[in-house]
Amino acid sequence: MASDYRGYLSLLERRLHLEPGERDEIVNELHAHVQDRVLERIEQGQSPEAALKETVESLGAARELAEGFYEIHSRGSWHHTALAVIPHLLLALTYAFHLWTNPMWVGAMLLIAISASVVGWRKGRPRWAYPWLGYSLIAPIVSWGLAMSAVGYGAWGVLISGKLPLGVPIYIASFVYFAFSLWVVIKYVSRVARPDWVMASLAILPVPFLAYWFFFFYNWGFAVEDNARQLREVDSSAAVIFLIIAAATAVFYRIGRRLVRVALLAITAPSLIVLAWMSYQGGRGYVAVFLFAVMSMAILLSPALFDLKDPEDESEQRILGVAASGLADIPE
């Protein structure tokens, strides 16, 4: 029965999807509760094995208990919800007033996002920090595009003229930078996604839309001077979309049920792409919008890959060790 109980705690710990400190605290408190109940049953005349069995059975299924704990502990306060919504509101403001064309404003926005991300990271990644962490990825994503553009420009130059338009060291540096920054981002995302990949998906929720916006802007080649009216219309639609993202984020934080959160993200991401397509291009580009919608779902669900590996980490071994030592204190 003792081995079954350790397995129960192990399953509970894996299903909690909370930060390691929160998981440890919940599992240890639950174990202390179980130990107290077992001792009470033993004092009433039950054998230790029967007392432990009945106590564990009274807890219910580990999966359902974990879902209950997750719903309670993952639900964000109004304060955290407001902090999480702020970056989306700032982006909505940026588009509403056409401020993305101002380098000073863009630089200030990026600096604010990175600063908030650093503060959140040092505080153990509180839930309000996840949207800020997502926006801090914009800088490496844009730099990747610039690096790969240089490589593509070089490849095109070789095809057209038979020689590289830029020096070889530039292309070598572009490849090295891309590989190194990709490794850093993967490590960064894995750290964020491993406790709860749903929170990581929330962090990258705006990324598919931003990618679509950049593609649309590049494809149409708008110049600010020649197409001011069209850009204003596009920016108004973008501002509305970021307001929708802000609303979805607020609902996400105030609803603790994990399945509802997954459904909310799965509906929001492709819907925003379709909304952007309807606002920007009208009836053209059916294939493109379908591909972008599929890609947005793939990007949004990609953090789930970090949840496929069974987390046999030190925290789980520590919890099971505490459980085993605690069982030794129960009278035989």
Distance CA 289, CA 277 (A): 7
Distance CA 278, CA 222 (A): 18
Closest CA to 261 of 124, 136, 135, 130: 130
Answer yes or no: is pLDDT of 61 > 70.
yes
Only one residue has tokens 């590996």, namely 309
Tell me the pLDDT tens digit for each residue of 227-261. Answer: 556 666 678 888 999 999 999 999 999 998 888 99
> Is residue 331 very low, low, confident or very high in pLDDT (cuts 50, 70, 90)?
very low
281 against 244, higher pLDDT: 244
Percent of the chain with pLDDT over 90: 15
Distance CA 2, CA 174 (A): 56
Q: What is the mean pLDDT of residues 40-63?
A: 88
Query: What single letter denotes the amino acid at residue 278?
Result: M
16's CB contacts (< 8 A; 6+ apart) are: 22, 23, 26, 27, 66, 69, 70
171 against 332, higher pLDDT: 171
Answer yes or no: is pLDDT of 317 > 50.
no
Q: What is the mean pLDDT of residues 313-332?
A: 46
Percent of the chain with pLDDT over 70: 73
211 against 246, higher pLDDT: 246
Query: CA-CA-CA-CA torsion for 61, 63, 65, 68, nearest 10 degrees?
Result: -140
**Model confidence, pTM:** 0.77
Distance CA 136, CA 131 (A): 9
246 against 279, higher pLDDT: 246
* Residue 100: per-residue pLDDT: 83
First to last CA, the chain: 13
* Residue 252: per-residue pLDDT: 94
Distance CA 304, CA 84 (A): 21
Distance CA 43, CA 330 (A): 11
> Which H/E stretch holds residue 263?
helix 258-280
143 against 109, higher pLDDT: 109
> Is residue 319 very low, low, confident or very high in pLDDT (cuts 50, 70, 90)?
very low
Highest mean predicted confidence (pLDDT) among 67-76, 133-142, 177-186, 207-216:
67-76
